[in-house]
Structure 1
Amino acid sequence: MRRSAPTLALLLALAGLTGTTALTACTAPDEQPPPAPAGLTAQAGSASSVHVMWEAAAEADGVTRYRVFEGGREVRVLAADRTMVDITGLTPQTGYTFTVRAEDAAGNLGAPGPEARVTTPAAKAEDRGAPTAPATTTGAATGPRSARLSWTPSTDDTGVTAYDIHQGGVRIHTVGPGESGTTLTGLRPDTVYTFTVRARDGADNSSPDGPPVDVTTPPASGEGPGTAPADFTATASPGAVTLSWTAPDTGRETSEYELFVNGKPTTVVQFGAGAVPAGRAEHRLSVSEPAGTTWAVKLRARLPDGTWGAFSAERTITLTP
């Protein structure tokens, strides 16, 4: 007698999968590593340090950290929001080779990108004099997320080894001694940036800041007009600080601004009904802090939808007696 093949129902019953028991699909583990970081550069900042930078991974790559290697030896592990690092404790007049590998949440380690090679300059133990500050700085946005800066070269008794670009008191980029300009990427659309440039020599002496330059990135396509207050100024006088700016074009009168001092929200400036300035606005703050106190101030406007707009440029002032 020929036996028939077991039915699916019988197989499920034998396996105990009858009734309300559901079959679930197995999810394959994430075994796809992220791509290699692009745009890796290495620039000697002094006789014993190198500044390593690379381009941020795309959000879709799921990168959670970067691992930095020198000559195949891991020297730093950084969170995904960090795309630059200073490697210190190096030997003068020595060649180094750096690579960076991206890692995702599943622990998949991507391949290294192209190597970046650099040689540290000779040490100058007696060099205690800082370079001169760049005399001029110019800048302009080249798109919603990029800008081009240029500066006047500095001088130093032993030679400039690098130029550091700062924004908001933080170094964001470093280029070599022969450069007098650079392109900055990874910026935000519709944002005012205030950049300064410092020169550095082989003993890690940094110059004072060169003159600041404001750069406003345009809104990205479809984002509408800019929301940052323009032409922001801050002037200290005995017992007071006077702020002045041009209101952003938000489609209606802008009567409320949030003021930040040294990176922290301090007060909200409000103009009452009938007192909202047209075009140019001004506000005077009474201060009680001692003379010589340094403030870094910036502000942003309340938009018609209730959210805060982009920040103005940041101004640094010293309070007067």
Structure 2
Amino acid sequence: MQRPLAARLLTPTAAVKAAVAIACFLLAACSAPPAKDTSPPTAPTGVTATSGSASTVHVMWSAATDDRAVTGYAVYRQGREVKELPAETLMTDVTGLAPATPQTFTVRARDAAGNLSPDSAAVTATTLAATAEDRTPPTRPTALRAAPAGPDGATLTWRPARDDTRVTAYDVYQADARVHTVPGTETTARLTGLRPGTAYAFTVRARDAAENSSPDSAPADLTTAPAPGAPPNTAPTAVTAKATKGAVTLTWTPPATTTPVTEHQLYLNGRFATTIVWGAQPPPGPVTYTLAVPTTPGTRYTVTLRARLPDGTWGDFSAPRTVVTP
């Protein structure tokens, strides 16, 4: 005989116990610890070592990969760690080395859980022999050219510099930050990891065994191709900069838009400095602006510009220009 419905209902006490059991089950499921990360990153590839002086070697590598994220790199010399670097840094100078001595380097990647990759392939560079005191820098490299190399790369070429002893290395700079180094016997550099639709300006300095660096070469501009479906680059072009006592004078050509560009933003060393506004119709063709700066001699300034577009948004940044106050 079927039991009455009331007999099949849970008593208040039993209902409370059931609810508590369900809540405990759900809480345990929600608070279960995440799976432990035990997978190390891949070993860095493309490691190179270039001796630039009697006591310094420049080490570079290509980024490693990880199932989550690479958080840093460790550089080893003769099997002993000498540098800890963040994930975005893919090169470093190892200093304080003995002259005319072979030095062997490896690189390992690290993730957030502390897992270390296997060692990269080992590379060896021999520091240069010590020389008599040398205070004369090389001449500046000339005829620098930049050409696209794939969607995220560039190839730079230049004519060699001269030195009273010899050029031992060429350093490539972008926005006054060194991004690459090649031996003094080479006049070509291949750069990777560039962002799409971005204006770059590169310069090159020659260096000798005494660590004397030449003046910057003239800049070479390059704008990478935009990402698929992205609009074309809207940066000001033909930017020049000249430093005088207490001022930096800029000349540039605004981007071509449906209406004249009447407003630009100027950035100094990566920080917003001022907004340049023409109250009336802007002058045709190239425009000029002079920015007052402190008169401290030998101060380096890196300047970039961007224009306000007809839709009210700010366009792309121009290629940077670096000047030194006289």
TM range (shorter): 0.7 to 0.9
Q: In structure 2, what is the Cα distance between the partners aligned to 1:251 and 1:202? A: 53
Partner in structure 2 of residue 300 of structure 1: 306
Whether the aligned pair in 1 keeps the contact of 2:41 and 2:67 (CA below 8 Å) is: no
Structure 1: state its 5+ residue gaps.
1-13
Answer yes or no: is 1:261 the counterpart of 2:264: no
Q: In structure 1, what is the Cα distance between the partners aligned to 2:151 and 2:310? A: 23
Q: In structure 2, what is the Cα distance between the partners aligned to 1:250 and 1:30? A: 51
Whether the aligned pair in 1 keeps the contact of 2:39 and 2:67 (CA below 8 Å) is: no
Partner in structure 1 of residue 287 of structure 2: 282
Partner in structure 1 of residue 111 of structure 2: 104
Letter in 1 for 2:318: S
Partner in structure 2 of residue 28 of structure 1: 35
Partner in structure 2 of residue 8 of structure 1: none
Letter in 1 for 2:64: A
Whether the aligned pair in 1 keeps the contact of 2:302 and 2:320 (CA below 8 Å) is: yes
CA RMSD between the two structures: 3.0
Q: In structure 2, what is the Cα distance between the partners aligned to 1:91 and 1:293? A: 32
Deviation at 1:76, TM superposition (A): 0.7
- In structure 1, which of residues 70, 75, 84 is the aligned counterpart of residue 82 of structure 2? 75
Whether the aligned pair in 2 keeps the contact of 1:34 and 1:103 (CA below 8 Å) is: yes
* Higher gyration radius (CA): 2
Letter in 2 for 1:135: T
What whole-Å deviation, never above 9, does each CA across 1:156-193 have from its counterpart, x for those lacking one? Answer: 23222111111222111100121111111111222222
Deviation at 1:297, TM superposition (A): 2.5
- In structure 1, which of residues 18, 23, 28 is the aligned counterpart of residue 21 of structure 2? 18
Q: Against the structure 1 CA distance between its residues 242 and 176, is the aligned structure 2 distance closer, same or farther, given a 3 Å change threshold? A: closer
Letter in 2 for 1:313: A
Deviation at 1:235, TM superposition (A): 5.1
Deviation at 1:64, TM superposition (A): 0.8
Letter in 2 for 1:83: L
Q: In structure 1, what is the Cα distance between the partners aligned to 2:298 and 2:82? A: 39
Alignment partner of 1:20: what SS? Answer: helix
Q: In structure 2, what is the Cα distance between the partners aligned to 1:127 and 1:141? A: 37
Whether the aligned pair in 1 keeps the contact of 2:265 and 2:276 (CA below 8 Å) is: yes
| Identity rate, percent | 50
What whole-Å deviation, never above 9, does each CA across 1:179-221 have from its counterpart, x for those lacking one? Answer: 1111111112222222111111112121222222222222122
Answer yes or no: is 1:115 the counterpart of 2:122: yes
State which drifts further: 112-121 or 228-237: 228-237
Whether the aligned pair in 2 keeps the contact of 1:243 and 1:284 (CA below 8 Å) is: yes
Partner in structure 2 of residue 11 of structure 1: none
Answer yes or no: is 1:124 the counterpart of 2:127: no
Within-5 A mapping of 1:1-321: 18-21=21-24, 22=26, 23-24=28-29, 27-58=34-65, 61-234=68-241, 242-249=249-256, 253-272=260-279, 275-276=281-282, 280-285=285-290, 287=292, 290=295, 295-303=301-309, 306-317=312-323
Whether the aligned pair in 2 keeps the contact of 1:143 and 1:218 (CA below 8 Å) is: no
Whether the aligned pair in 1 keeps the contact of 2:42 and 2:66 (CA below 8 Å) is: no
Q: Against the structure 1 CA distance between its residues 145 and 288, is the aligned structure 2 distance closer, same or farther, given a 3 Å change threshold? A: closer
Q: Against the structure 1 CA distance between its residues 32 and 44, is the aligned structure 2 distance closer, same or farther, given a 3 Å change threshold? A: same
Count of residues paired in the alignment: 306
Alignment partner of 1:225: what SS? Answer: coil
Whether the aligned pair in 2 keeps the contact of 1:48 and 1:88 (CA below 8 Å) is: yes
